[in-house]
Chains A and B, each alone.
Chain A
Amino acid sequence: MHLRPNQQRRASRPMRLLVAASLFLAPAALASAPLDDEPAKEAESEEDKEEVLVLKGGEIHTGLGGVLRDATILVREGKIEAFGYDVDVPEDAEVVDVSGMRVYPGLIAVGSFGLFGSSGNLDDSVDPYNQNMTLALSAGITTAVDGNTVAKLKRGHVQGLVVNTSAFESLSYSNGNPQGQLKVEQDLKGAADYIRAYRAWEDEKKSNKEAKEPSKKGVDQKSLRILRGEVRPCFNADSRTDLLEIAHLAQRFGFRPIINGCREGWTVADELGRAGATAIVTPRSRRPKDESLLREGGSSIENAATLYSHGVNVVVVPASRGISLGGIVGTDLLHLPVEAGFAIRGGLPELAGLRSITIEAARVLGVDYRIGSIEVGKDADLIVTDGDLLHYQTFVQWAIVDGEIVYDKQAEMFFAHIRPRPESALAPAERMDAGEESPADAPEEEPVEETPEGETPDGETSGEGGGEEPQPSEDPEESEDPEESATTAGN
């Protein structure tokens, strides 16, 4: 597969991100410099060399279904320039050998707190050395929503984090508040009437120059934006009644709702599918059925799968949107893929599980043109893992944001001691220069136990029997879980 695009170098380089230190120097530079872009030039001259990062030999999971084994990704200027099998690697490129590992798009947390040190205007107030940011990167999260801002976890940077400042256009439409519902309907109707009148006027204008443009007065701007398709409204709703009414409202006015919660969505999945809804769900959410009602209700582990099978796009978020070190593990942002695992438990295909924390999340935030999958031209927000991302044992080895390695498991204090990466993977460039084996040829692990067909008794072979999702076909000699060899080598 040859995916190298035309090398269209943009005239102006993308904004280079200043590290904190140079930012502090900036005022002095500005004081002495005339009002032109001299500081930028200075920054550029410091780094004449093009920044090219190459991840070599990994199993690339694009997040859209494509899996490329033993492939290469070329990142230039923070963007994915090419990936595939015959990628030209420039001589001065920083090459990281990721043989035996997997490369995924960085994960997106639709809802977070505390990752950026503070909320509000992140470009002004971010703490780029915040411990939570590092920990979120360790979980594979490269972009998160804080409040209504979509921002990247650009560790060590104070600028260029924000991708989108208005992630959601919230709308409240609950059965518990009939007056509020009426207001929403009136606003939408007013906006719809205005759009109709405006179109009629546009037609009429052609024959009648005197035609009067309809007045915008009193037309709800939010509703207008929704009906024009500029934004998708986001509702917080869990109960079947609310979900049904939102689905009907969406179909009546012709917009695609985003529904946060959607706990009883499985009972009305067909209606939500017809409305083109996207559901942001927590698969482990628990609510017993209201026994006073005859109908189905309450939470269901099959919620995500049922919604998905009815055409609803599914985004997964964990129950706790922060980083928790209080001891109870598995329910916070540190374990976002684990939460997606519970959706898979309920029947969601594996690929949809991966998409629910990458591209579907990007779509819901309106940033899928930049992030959420491995595609040529997209931001190089990547994670390298030691195995199947959705397996409970997998750790992120490297996290890359805008082409820069911002997290390296072995270089951080938190998890370096857990199944350490084999020494060979630490300094690949030097090792290859020395003519030694590449990490892919790392010594065969000694079998833990003589078991037929190379299986371990606990069934480590991840994905096996895990659903109907087509898995990348695995060569027999490579079927060992890379993390197992890491374990053996590390001990």
Chain B
Amino acid sequence: MICLVASTCALLWTAPSAVQGEAVVLRAAKALTCEYEGPGFILDPVVVMRDGKIEAIGPEGSVEIPEGAEVIDYGDRWLAPGFVDLHSHVGGSRGDINDMVFQLNSELRVSPAVIPNNSALEKPLAAGVTTILFIPGSGTNMGGTGVLMKLGIDGYEEALLRDPGSLKIAQGDNPTRWGYGMGRILMNYGLRFRLRRGQAYAKAWDAYLEGEGAKPERELELDIFRFLYAGDTQVSTHTQYYQLVLMTITMLARDFGLPTYIDHGSFDSYLTTPLAKEFGVGAILGPREIMAPRPPRFDTDGRIEGTAWGFQEQGMVDIGFNTDAPVVPQEELTTQAAMGVRYGLRNDRAQGLRGVTIIPARTSGIADRVGSLEPGKHADILVCNGDPIDPRTHFDAVWVNGEKVYDAEVGGQAW
């Protein structure tokens, strides 16, 4: 009896979402598909979702609607892929993700602090953010490893996209507060020291697994480097001004060959664009998106320069945005993109929207699953009433893994 009640409840509970195996079809006026190459949009789209994934997507008539499928017609609304924020500190408990006992903490993991679907993620979900990189704070040079996780999903395993999501390295500014105060010379020395050990460790394991050399002793603080050198995760660098970004590129990408991206790129970091392009370092920007004229730089002719504008002017194509939530609230990720456009980023190919969808997804290596509306990807779909990055646009519904996890008609518009 109890079993029956429980199963009935479960059935009711999952009522708004897709039952395993059954298809749900969404229709709307336009889909901003955001695939990396291609037009990026479909008029009169039909999206078939099944088992949490997009089974098919195309303009009306080109996609067969499975028999018996539930069809939801959103009328004049638009569809967009769920947004990806690669710099977030609100994926779990906030107070304990910034351990500052040691300056280098590559062995620490943020995963125990994750609280899936926590209340701080309610508004972000209503704002279309469906994937975040939850990372340690920037109080130390190496804060530890973060996780890539989904919003709106209960349960750690269910919400998890990838662990380790990244190795968080922070340069300049915040880590200088450590201990009695630390300068950049010592910090860079410390970083290089740890990176050198990590590189040797990863090489030794590679050699051992290929049958050359003895089995290396397990060192927890260096394990992450095996993931990094295997290309399974990246270094997400909390970096800001161009001197710091310069060090990010030269030290991490050039000297140590680590898969690296600029996270939290701010101010005049665009001065490093040629180097970033040369070493394949991605640019995820925010929350400080402009460089106003101030000492010691007098070469801007008084211009207030957009960080994203600067990167684009010098030929950087893949430019993304992040919030550093709660510094900028998680729900204002699209506002970051909008401000990037305001301050000069050309938006003729929806660069603003791409900067919060496919670009961060590719940068963090999860574009096979999220970041665009393409067959085979997770059905993370937003329903909105206009340009998704316009602050005036709201979201009527948010689907994550094929389940409707937010509906503005139920309980009002959360953001």
List A residues at the B interface (Cβ < 8 Å): 284, 286, 288, 300-302, 325-330, 335, 338, 341-342, 344-347, 350, 353, 390-393, 413-419, 448-449, 451-452, 456-467, 484, 487, 491
Interface centre among B43, B389, B393 (most CB of A within 10 A): B393
Contacts of A392 in B (CB 8 A): 335, 338-339, 341-342, 389-391
Select one of B335, B344, B387 contacting A462, CB under 8 A: B387
Q: When chains A and B are docked, how far (Å) is the Cα of A286 from the Cα of B387?
A: 24
CB <8 Å contact, A452 and B43: yes
A457 and B349 within 8 A (CB) = yes
Residue interface bits B299-312, CB-to-A below 8 A is 1, else 0: 00111111001000
Binds A, one of B223-231, B253-261, B283-291: B283-291
* Closest chain B residue, CB of each to CB of A301: B415
Per CB-CB distance, the 6 closest pairs between chain A and chain B, nearest first, are: A327-B288, A413-B302, A458-B350, A325-B292, A341-B391, A457-B41
Contact with A along B402-415 (1 / 0, CB 8 A): 00000000001111
The answer on a CB contact under 8 Å between A456 and B267 is no
Taking the complex as formed, is B392 at the interface, i.e. its CB lies under 8 A from any CB of chain A?
yes
Contact assessment for B348 and A484 in the assembled complex, using a CB-CB cutoff below 8 Å: yes
User: Please, which residue of chain B has its CB at the minimum distance from the CB of A342?
Assistant: B391
Q: How far is the CA of A472 from the CA of B341 in the complex (A)?
A: 25
4 more A-B contacts (CB under 8 A) besides A327-B287, A416-B303?
A: A345-B391, A392-B339, A418-B343, A457-B350
Which residues of A sit under 8 angstroms from B365, Cβ to Cβ?
none
Chain B contributes a number of interface residues (CB within 8 A of A) equal to 61
Taking the closest CB of chain A, its distance from the CB of B411, in whole angstroms, is 10
Task: State the CA gap A484–B343 with chains docked (Å).
Answer: 14
List, in ascending order, chain B residues with CB within 8 A of A326's CB: 288
Is B363 engaged at the interface, CB distance under 8 Å to the other chain? no
B interface with A by C-beta (< 8 Å): 30, 32, 39-41, 43, 76-78, 119, 266-267, 287-292, 294, 301-306, 309, 327-329, 332, 335-336, 338-339, 341-344, 346-353, 384-394, 412-415
Q: Are A464 and B266 in contact (CB under 8 A)?
A: no
- B contacts with A: majority SS: loop
A-B contact pairs, 6 of them (CB 8 A): A301-B413, A327-B292, A345-B393, A347-B413, A414-B303, A466-B385
Distance (whole angstroms) from the CB of A309 to the closest CB of chain B: 13
Please tell me if the beta carbons of B392 and A414 are within 8 angstroms of each other in the complex: no
Distance in angstroms from B60 CB to nearest chain A CB is 13
Among candidates A302, A419, A467, residue contacting B344 with C-beta atoms closer than 8 Å: A419
How far apart are A334's CB and chain B's nearest CB, in angstroms?
A: 9
| Minimum CB–CB distance for B316 against chain A, Å | 16
Residues of A within 8 A of B289 (CB): 327-329
CB distance from A345 to the nearest CB of B (A): 5
From A417, A448, A458, give the contact of B303 (CB < 8 A).
A417
In the bound complex, CA of A263 to CA of B103 (Å) = 42
Q: Are B292 and A390 in contact (CB under 8 A)?
A: no
Closest partner residue, chain A, to B302 (CB atom): A413
Roughly how many angstroms separate A457 CA and B352 CA in the complex, as a whole number?
11
Q: In chain A, what residue has the closest Cβ to B390? A: A392
B77 interface neighbour in A286, A327, A458, A465, Cβ under 8 Å: A465
Given A457-B349, A458-B32: A413 and B290 interface contact (C-beta under 8 Å): no
Q: Smallest Cβ distance from B228 to chain A, in angstroms?
A: 30
B384 to chain A, nearest CB (A): 8
A344's nearest neighbour on chain B, judged by CB, is B392
**Are A286 and B329 in contact, CB atoms less than 8 angstroms apart?**
yes
The chain A residue with its CB closest to the CB of B387 is A459
The residue among B32, B327, B350, B391 with the most chain A CB atoms within 10 A of its own CB is B391
Q: Specify which chain B residues have a CB less than 8 angstroms from the CB of A462 in the assembled complex.
A: 387, 390
